[in-house]
Structure 1
């Protein structure tokens, strides 16, 4: 059995780090700079980037979805957040590049402390936002040096076998699944642009481009994105900048009624033209490259940097998208239930490997006939590998699941009608009392989010603590956000909505998010429990505020062998029993008889 969508070969090796960093330093000397910043980013600040933009992984060996390397002529750092503090030192050559925890020191703080007096720090203006450039400039100035934009990325100069830019076909996304035509979306965007007093919006986020024009592509793994840009003027026809080689006839016809399509090379001239008219151009603060602002301003235009109004529109799902998500989760839940039933028997027989689990789960999803891709590389972690938050199994790290261990499986699927993301932690053999305690506390935090009721205007930051309180009570915590936004046949990680200490966007009905508290004992085990949830209105008798709450979309049992009822309240137990009854009733008719019998046992009442 093999995977259609995932590979398990080691993507990088720490052994390549030293010669590649040495080659980069030679290039920096030739350019007359003393250092260079290598973010994990492409020209759109995307989470998933095409192979030709994996500069950080190629240079350092680190393959995480976020991180920044600062390479000076005599030292180097790799700054990563809490998800990657174990992964980074395992993947890079720590004698060449020093991993630095973001919680202890930002990349800018490291630059301030290490850039030599008078040093020149280079950066690629296509890989940093305007705010990111400002922070680099300020950090370099505090060190007594300066930050300068380079005309060509020096990593590209030494990356001799760099892959070409992707050219996956671009196809229309049916209006029946989107719930709104692209003409209606354009009118809404123009109305928002008028309120912002802007003359044009540059769409730099490919997710927003795909949503606006009801298009899907395949330029990056796991997310059906066409990489490109668009300019939406307050008056006149929008223009999409896409390589003509990847625009199908169907996509051209779908877009042609409301917009023009031009090759990517025409973007510079279009920005110049905007600047020459003195236009006020709106750029997305999160994804617009500093190079875009520089070009508009050099031509005489003015730039307003702020949130792209499309992001919030996209986050609030249409009725058709919500219906599609329910259908996708029922289909996915049936496949996942088949996997869990298989896993119980397979793990008990011994010899189960992490890769085998990934391949079997994908096969169950493929048998639905609707699978388009996995929504991210499956995290399949047994024992200590489960404690690595974003662990990705390779042939060199693949473990056999051992009795007495926990097995964490975090996976998702892309269906044309919806995107899924689910995590379950499974006991293999007899769990320890500590494992049951930690699992139950994580489950209680999960229930705390699911059952939360809150007034309109509440942000994710205000409810994040609901997920952490049961862990805090035992002196425990986890170092990632509790939930991220989720797209509709788009990115599994969507903003601006999130449940986290930094989640400032107010939650609105129709937003989809994950609910995934966890606990990680380094070197021993990891626990994470994740469902996707939908923000919806709540009617409370006698209340005088508009209230909101969550509906759970994901359908899959929790492992009752790890639940300690004595630690739970009666309300928490009642929620668990009701959820399991819904899982059983919804999925029972969709699975085979053997799985149905397992499902009956797995969803038995606790209270």
Structure 2
């Protein structure tokens, strides 16, 4: 058993450093010597301000665009004070979190871009923002026209590092070492050193200096609270004991945890420091040699800002700091550097997989949470459909999202939303992570698609579900696109695969029906999900029983509409006639909400896909129908009966493909004629 393997399966607390009373300031300067290498004759930078959309004379200025001219000018003044050529402003906080507290939204403040993923870089003469395909349209609208938009993954778009390498020799690139993951920092520093450029850690965040004058939001002061054993399924003492056992086997003295969801899960505590994420700002250090406690298990509380001093002063011979992985950048460069090199071991956090593989109590809780959530969502969808088709009242994206929250709040153990609802009508649905605002709020109607991506936090689980509706007559193109997205969703949901298969190997199943006609979507097909924790959770690349993750293919037509269909699934062991080398795995749908038959072209579905949908809808009717009865929601139960009626392709016992629609019609007529002759 290798050391890495041991730590991959370990679990981790002895020194806990929760809530901050002041901002941590860490001098972490790394002087790098230039080597004087020549620049390439051909610049890698192929993106210019001329590429920006809605930035030409006569273009209408988007209502959500933020003018950051003064903010950037003030930042450049501070850069001059520190003799910096460039300054990096990442999205994350000191824990490399995907979602951050309002007080940590530095990238949003300096750029105006509000998406959850992105990095801003400001030089003395230019400014650029990098983000992924989920946010291309949103960034175009929110960034003012002085910002270059770097659309990650697109042809001709340089990476952050490639862009930095275009700086002149002797340039200095500054950043806050608390906000950048150690692995990212080290790779940047090494590459830039080879180009004669210094990467400098600045002990004061320059954005904070200028933001304070505008009224930077304070950190939340709410207390943390206990996540009861009835929901957690395992005591924090047992979790810590398991971790310390793994640490002892690996001869590690201290394990540092920096990811907030790992801290919360390990201690069976929850908080409200970050919107929609029931976590609190804290570090945890677990020791196998602590002399501070007389008992076998204990927790000592230290000031949040003292973590670096604790690590710098520690006499431990072997300290494990977490590396980076999806939805977490691992330990920051500040934490990484605080541990002396001779004692430092970088490894995957041992809590990662243990938290991701839900125990029996957590699995039961997640399923129960999704039943409650489906009752709320079905009840709301029934209500909204009637409201819009009757036309008696005007509903907008915001009022619909607000009303849906009240339906969820009526369910037992509801603790809030798991993210801001993506309530998007018509062209707003093309903005993949759209959030309605007063400036963008649209009235819902019968002329286009309505995409609703929403979720709730319950004490027994976290939910995330997307459905797309049309309250009028959809176009043929919309029906085909919806059906192809649904076919991909079904193919992924029904696949059986050998243990050890990675998510990337299955991804094409969700896209292949779109690929057939030259379409695709610019986001991942799935993500892990926490148990009353983050709506996005890190998983191992290979599926394992007990994992919960999403299945959410989509299609987005710019400036027109969006389609996305999302279920949460549980990875389970499958029984197969044979076993080649490894056991087989598959998925069990946990989200139980019907799909929209009006948007399904059944001639594009295979017999197997129809059977899956019919079985799924039968389960929805049985499980959610029973709960609707129990909660006295008869009208919604009747609505659900209609929404889950079997598809005719499967009921006829016919198989259809995208090229056989005419044959299907003929066969269907023959069946009808045959029945008339017989009877």
The change in CA–CA distance for 1:137 and 1:332 in structure 2 (over 3 A counts) is same
Indicate the SS of the match to 1:159.
Answer: helix
Name 1:284's counterpart in structure 2.
323
1:267-306 alignment runs, 5 A limit: 267-274=307-314, 276-285=315-324, 286-297=329-340, 301-306=342-347
State the partner residue of 2:13.
none
Task: Pick from 569, 578, 592 the counterpart of residue 606 of structure 2.
Answer: 569
Equivalence map 1:71-82=2 (5 Å): 71-82=122-133
Tell me, in whole angstroms, the C-alpha distance in 1 between the residues paired with 2:283 and 2:292: 11
User: Higher RCO, 1 or 2 (CA under 8 Å, sep at least 6)?
Assistant: 2
Count of aligned residue pairs for this structure pair: 569
* Moved segments of 4+, more than 6 Å: none
Give the counterpart of 1:524 among 560, 564, 588: 560
Contact kept in structure 2, 1:477 and 1:519, CA below 8 Å: yes
Aligned twin of 1:248: none
The alpha-carbon deviation at position 468 of structure 1 amounts to 0.9
Q: 1 or 2, which has the higher strand percentage?
A: 1
C-alpha distance in structure 2 between counterparts of 1:559 and 1:204, whole Å: 42
* 1:142-166 deviation digits (Å, cap 9, x = unpaired): 5542211111011011112112233
2:260 aligned with 1:260, yes or no?
no
Gaps of 5+ in 2: 1-62, 651-679
Question: Within 5 A, what are the aligned runs for 1:225-264?
Answer: 225-236=279-290, 258-264=298-304
Which one of 172, 191, 198 corresponds to residue 146 of structure 1? 198
- Residue 543 (structure 1) aligned with residue 579 (structure 2): yes
* CA 137–75 in structure 1, closer or farther in 2 if over 3 Å, else same: same
Q: Residue in 1 aligned with 2:526?
A: 483
1:334 and 1:465, CA in 2 relative to 1: closer, same or farther beyond 3 A? same
Corresponding residue number in structure 1 for 2:255? 201
CA contact (8 A) 1:513 1:534 kept: yes
1:389 aligns with 2:432: yes
The structure 2 residue matched to 1:182, chosen from 228, 236, 241, is: 236
After the TM superposition, which residues 381-460 of structure 1 pair with which residues of structure 2 at under 5 Å, given as runs? Answer: 381-460=424-503
Partner of 2:211: 159
CA distance in 1, matches of 2:369, 2:330: 29
- TM-score between both structures, scaled by the size of structure 2: 0.81
| Residue 338 (structure 1) aligned with residue 379 (structure 2) | yes
Structure 1 residue aligned with 2:357, among 305, 316, 341? 316
What is the CA–CA distance in structure 2 between the aligned matches of 1:340 and 1:548, rounded to whole Å?
A: 33
Alignment check: 8 A CA contact 2:446 2:471 kept: yes
Measure the CA separation in 2 of the matches of 1:344 and 1:281. 54
CA RMSD of aligned residues (A): 1.8
Report the Cα offset of residue 512 of structure 1: 0.4
- Cα distance between partner residues in 2 of 1:33 and 1:520: 41
SS at match of 1:85: helix
SS at match of 2:527: strand
SS for the counterpart of 1:122 is strand
- Please report how far the alpha carbon of residue 316 of structure 1 lies from its aligned counterpart in structure 2 after TM superposition: 0.1
Query: Is the contact between residue 375 and residue 421 of structure 1 (CA under 8 Å) also seen in structure 2?
Result: yes
Deviates more, 1:230-239 or 1:405-414: 230-239
Residue 128 of structure 1 corresponds to: 180
1:324-368 deviation per Cα after TM superposition (whole angstroms, max 9, x unaligned): 111111111100001110121122234321111101111111122
Distance 1:430 1:171, change over 3 A: same
Structure 1 partner of 2:148: 98
The alpha-carbon deviation at position 370 of structure 1 amounts to 2.6
Match of 1:4 in 2: none
User: Is the alpha carbon distance of 1:238 and 1:481 closer, same or farther for their aligned partners in structure 2, counting shifts above 3 Å?
Assistant: farther
- 1:111 corresponds in structure 2 to 164
Separation of aligned partners in 2, 1:342 and 1:23: 50
How far apart are the structure 1 equivalents of 2:137 and 2:553?
A: 19
Question: Does the C-alpha gap of structure 1 residues 330 and 576 become closer, same or farther in structure 2, counting only changes over 3 Å?
Answer: same
Aligned mate of 1:372, from 408, 415, 418: 415
- Indicate the larger mover: 429-438 or 351-360: 351-360
Q: Of the two, which has the highest radius of gyration?
A: 2
Structure 1 unaligned residues grouped into runs of 5+:
1-11, 240-254, 498-504
